[in-house]
Amino acid sequence: MLLVSQILFSCSFLLFLSRRILNYLRFFQQEDYRPKRFLKWFLWAKAFDTKGTLILALAFLGRFFFEPTFLYFLLSFGFLYSFFKEEDPRVFGKIPLKMTNRAKRLFLVSLSLSFILSLSAYALGDFFKELVFFAFFLQMQPLILLLSWLLLHPDEKRRQNKFLRQASLKLEKVDPFVIGITGSYGKTSTKHALAHLLNTCVGPTFFPKGSVNTPMGITVEVNEKLKPYHQFAVIEMAAYGIGSIRNLSCFTKPKAAILTNIGLAHLERFKLTQTIQKAKAELAEALPKGGLLVCNGDSPLIREIAKNHRDKNIIFYGYSDHLGPIDLLIEFKENTLKGTSFTFTWKGKCYSGTTPLFGKANLSNIAASFAMSSELGGNPDFLMAAIGCMEPVNNRLEIKQDKGVTYIKDAYNSNPLGFKDALEVMEALPGQRKFLMTPGMIELGPLQAHENEEAGKRASRFLDTALIVGKVNREALNRGLSSQMTPSQVLFFDFREEALAFLKKEAREGDVILLENDLTDIYESKSSF
């Protein structure tokens, strides 16, 4: 009977481990399979096993009263019960685990290693030692997952290089005119705006939809969606460090580029804004001599990049010429429920128009796209007409109305400039009561607390109620909001779903609700293991 109980326990323990591995794998995936970032999250969240260890601890106490055979049966029941009670990360969570081929490989290797190592516990020949081994083994699951990543890494690089070569050959064969876009903010919105203008007024254009901006993401899009008839390709380029954009440029070979802005986004990763500037400048360096370089003239750091690349055909756009000459001058007029009205001054002529997009940052992105499209052959009058029928990128200052309530959805990757822009849009819109729901901004390094406090102060001038989600920026946001709001006007929620439930219950016709930023499961709360 002892052998039967051990087999039953091994099976139930393995089932429990499979769910535990999937849960850790979800967070590893959200950290882009970066071991250091995953370990940093693990230690911050204190995501050590407690459920399985508690079950083993109870069995340890039970050894004074029961035989190991009976305890193994009890342990089997305990781990089976925990397996069925624990949420499946492939279904639950703000960002469920996506079982890609890579995730499947990591899961299977981790589970195999766990199975082999767990069987070795029985070689100890002592029930107490076996319990200690299993408890220690549970705490080691994140490291076993990382060991699996390490074992698979050479094969993963081989697979990635194969796909990369396929995409490179396809780009060479189709030979579209490649336009790279980078910056701290506005990359995705500019990409969609430019692709819309080119497709409408110039020629068929390929672009990866959404916020796809990494080598493997772009590789998949090129292999699957680039067609022989595409004349242009618009590529968004993210920087995870020095060399990221250089590598992307070697792969895509851009002939033109847009530099949107350089600011505090991802300062935690880069440490210094000068490092961010150096990383973004790699796109300008990649252009051929005489290549078209469209730059945000309102950004001092981008102007410095332009000064170092005078062999390029440089076009400046912006709201003011106080930093230097402007080729495309933007005049913002007003935000209404229908969108934004504006005027562009371009090559000695004024173009007035409206766009369904909102905010000065979006208008700046549109101006960059207008300048690039015009230089590539687009008729400015046709481009202005196309701007009038643009659609906002999902959850980037997207305004929706439901039962008389106006929702401003700006839930993607908030930054100081974008937060300020969203608050200005909200303040300009008519409304009986105004609500802000936000977890605040992240990855701003030592300036994170200050920037969140400043955002809170700015919002406190006109808000009726603020809903702070999670604990990451709770204190800083509360300090800022409390400058002009009473404690009863500032509410705290651990989870986004709780805050949304409150809004659903409290909102009434005429209200304006800003949903500013939405953090992943990594940041919103500490998960229970």
Q: What is the reported pLDDT for 268? A: 66
Q: What six digits make up the tokens of 43?
A: 């230690």
Class of domain 175-388: alpha beta
Q: Which part of the chain is CATH 3.90.190.20?
A: 398-523
Q: What six digits make up the tokens of 150?
A: 């390490």
Q: What is the reported pLDDT for 445? A: 81
Q: What is the reported pLDDT for 525? A: 54
Q: Which residues are within 8 A (CB) of 426 and not within 5 positions of it... i.e. 6 or more apart?
A: 408, 434, 436, 462, 512, 514
Mean pLDDT of 273-288: 89
Q: What is the reported pLDDT for 69? A: 78
Mean pLDDT of 284-309: 94
For 182-214, letters b (16+ CB in 10 Å) and e give: bbbbbbbbbbbbbbbbbbbbbbebbbbeebbbb
Question: Among residues 195, 227, 189, which one has the least CA distance to residue 211?
Answer: 189
Q: What is the reported pLDDT for 291? A: 95
The whole-chain average pLDDT of the chain stands at 89
Q: For residue 504, count other CB atoms closer than 10 A to its CB.
A: 9
pLDDT band at 240 (very low <50, low <70, confident <90, very high): confident
Q: What is the reported pLDDT for 460? A: 94
Mind listing the pLDDT tens digit for each residue in 473-505? 999 999 999 999 999 999 999 888 899 999 999
How far apart, in Å, are the Cα atoms of 167 and each of 101, 208, 233, 257, 271?
19, 13, 13, 20, 33
Q: What six digits make up the tokens of 166?
A: 């396929």
Q: What six digits make up the tokens of 264?
A: 């505090």
Q: What is the reported pLDDT for 369? A: 97
User: Does 265 have pLDDT greater than 70?
Assistant: no
Mind listing the pLDDT tens digit for each residue in 357-400? 988 989 999 999 999 999 999 999 999 999 999 988 877 888 88
Whole-angstrom distance, CA of residue 501 vs CA of residue 255: 49
pLDDT band at 80 (very low <50, low <70, confident <90, very high): confident
User: Does 213 have pLDDT greater than 60?
Assistant: yes
Q: What is the reported pLDDT for 514? A: 94
CB 364 within 8 A of CB 352: no
User: Does 181 have pLDDT greater than 90?
Assistant: yes
Q: Which part of the chain is CATH 3.40.1190.10?
A: 175-388
Whole-angstrom distance, CA of residue 512 vs CA of residue 208: 32
Q: Which neighbouring-strand residues pair with 512?
A: 406, 434
H helix intervals, 175-260:
187-201, 215-225, 244-252
CB 232 within 8 A of CB 205: yes
Whole-angstrom distance, CA of residue 397 vs CA of residue 82: 42
Pairing of strands 339-346, 328-336: antiparallel
User: Does 266 have pLDDT greater than 70?
Assistant: no
Q: What is the reported pLDDT for 226? A: 95
Mind listing the pLDDT tens digit for each residue in 149-172? 999 999 999 999 999 999 999 999
- Assign a CATH topology to domain 398-523: Protein-Tyrosine Phosphatase; Chain A (3.90.190)
User: Does 528 have pLDDT greater than 70?
Assistant: no
Whole-angstrom distance, CA of residue 184 vs CA of residue 310: 22
Q: What six digits make up the tokens of 33?
A: 């399979």
% of the chain at pLDDT higher than 70: 96
Question: What's at 480, amino acid-wise?
Answer: G
Q: What is the reported pLDDT for 75? A: 80
Mean pLDDT of 200-228: 91
Mean pLDDT of 253-281: 83
Mean pLDDT of 39-61: 85
Whole-angstrom distance, CA of residue 51 vs CA of residue 57: 10
